[in-house]
Each structure stands twice: as C-alpha cells, then as structure tokens.
Amino acid sequence: MSEAKLDLIVVFKIMPDGAEVDIEALGKSVLETTQKVAPSAKVQNIEFKPIAFGLKSVEATVLMSDGEGGPDPLEEAFNELEGVGSATVAQLGRI
C-alpha cells in the first residue's frame, strides 16, 4: 500500500461563532477532524490569530493530496464543528 502523494498546501481560516469559544479546544478539534476526514493529510501548523475584541481565529496549515477531493471535504467538516462560525480556504497552492 503506497502513501498518498501530498501535493497541496492549504491554509484554512476557522472563525469561532463568538469570543467565548475555547480557541485551544477548537484547535484540537480541527486536528482531530483532519485525521478523521483526510487520514493521509498532515497538519503542519495551527496558529491562533487575533481578530478584534478578544476574538481569535484558528489558522490550520495542512499538506494533503489533491486526489482526496482537495480541501472541500475538510472545509465542510470544519464548518460542522461545534463553536465554528465559518471555515474557509484562505490559501491554496501546489507543492
């Protein structure tokens, strides 16, 4: 069984639905969701970026295979997480 070729680098921007959301727990949920939805993908980095008034976003950099349907399945899964207001692809590139 060969490993999937990781040929995309995707930065997801995940916005919580309020400042009261535990951003650290949300980051952990993003990591767990990535492992479930795209097992061959590798999370390179998770950052917490200040937006305004105590609100922070989660930015997850993920290496993944274009053959797995690209970033769409992960984006949809992130949008379903509890506490997420929106999840979008902020950047997408080929490796």
Alpha carbon distance 69, 59 (integer Å):
20
Prediction pTM value: 0.92
Domains of the chain, residue spans: 8-94
Give the pLDDT of residue 70: 86
**β-strand partners of 16:** 84
Q: Is residue 15 a contact partner of residue 86, using CB atoms and an 8 Å limit?
A: yes
Mean pLDDT for each 10-residue chunk of the chain (95 residues)? 76 95 96 94 96 93 87 96 97 94
User: Does an H or E element contain 80, and which?
Assistant: none
Give the pLDDT of residue 3: 58
The CATH architecture to which 8-94 belongs is 2-Layer Sandwich (3.30)
